[in-house]
Structure 1
Amino acid sequence: MAEQTDPERDPRWDAVRAAARRRVATPPGLVERVLRAVARGGRAAVEVPGDDGGLRITEQTVVRLAGTIAAGRAPAGVRVSAVAVEDGVVQVLVSVRFGVVADEAAEALRREVTAELSRQLGVETAVNVHVVDVHPG
């Protein structure tokens, strides 16, 4: 069995620590998009056509469903941080364990969430997965 080392003393984390110390500017328009999303409240995110009429599903419902799917289908070493709907696209924010290949894990989760969400809603749903953090384990 491999010896457990303290991540705080692991020199491979030096690059992560250096990146964490850098100030990151707020992306242009982020505050406005968040405020707009809050103001929308229960606005319908998905319209599902049916034989006897359509079904309107709110953004909040899509967010909860996508969050449940993402948490249940996340690959080993991936933690779901947040889920939102922005401009009709489900946005999933995740952190990955140090050592996990981030882009592969994010793409695997995106495929899983897209397929299951589309299956459950009955319509194709666009999903993006963004790696926003790295955690030690």
Structure 2
Amino acid sequence: MAEAEDPESDPRWDAVRRAAARRVPTPPGLVERVLRAVARGRRAPVDGPGGTGRLRATEAVVDRLARAIAADRAPDGVLVSAVAVEDDVVQVRVSVRAGVVAGAAAESLRRELTAGLARQLGIPPVVNVHVVAVHPGPD
């Protein structure tokens, strides 16, 4: 098998070198947003009694549990499109099939998710379910 050529010997590589040498300014607010996101991952939105002591769960853990429970417990005709923990509140975005009563479906999922998280974490979290779209039903 022939040995591959060094890409840096390609004359077009000079353009890459010139681009790499230019300083790119950091967009305003980027550092603060990154630091907030990192800090959020370390926060413990759930801090309550556990079996042998106190239970602490990070936002990432609550997010993963909420995703799993929402996917498993969503009523017929409801598709979970996004789950996030924002300021210690579980936010769920869903779409409903045409013909499904959106408010009732969202409330059903909210109750199921709140109960499921309370069973897992020992504390019922605040859960908001937002219907953001309607999708066509099966033919």
TM score, norm. by length of structure 2: 0.68
**Does 2:72 correspond to 1:82?**
no
Question: Which of these two proteins has the greater Rg computed from alpha carbons?
Answer: 2
Aligned partners of 2:50 and 2:122 also within 8 Å: no
Shift of 1:120: 1.2
The answer for the alignment partner of 1:21 in structure 2 is: none
The unaligned stretches of length 5 or more in structure 1 are: 1-31
Which 4+ stretches in 1 moved above 6 angstroms?
32-35
The unaligned stretches of length 5 or more in structure 2 are: 1-31
Aligned partners of 1:69 and 1:113 also within 8 Å: yes
Shift of 1:40: 2.0
SS of residue in 1 equivalent to 2:45: strand
Identity of aligned residues (%): 72
**Change in 2 beyond 3 A, CA 1:51/1:131:** closer
The answer for the alignment partner of 1:22 in structure 2 is: none
Partner Cα separation in structure 2 for residue 89 and residue 39 of structure 1: 16
The answer for the alignment partner of 2:43 in structure 1 is: 43
**Change in 2 beyond 3 A, CA 1:33/1:93:** farther
Aligned partners of 1:80 and 1:95 also within 8 Å: yes
**Change in 2 beyond 3 A, CA 1:51/1:38:** closer
> CA RMSD, aligned part only?
2.3
Measured against aligned partners, the alpha-carbon deviations of 1:67-94 in whole angstroms (never above 9, x if no partner) come to 1101111011000111111111111111
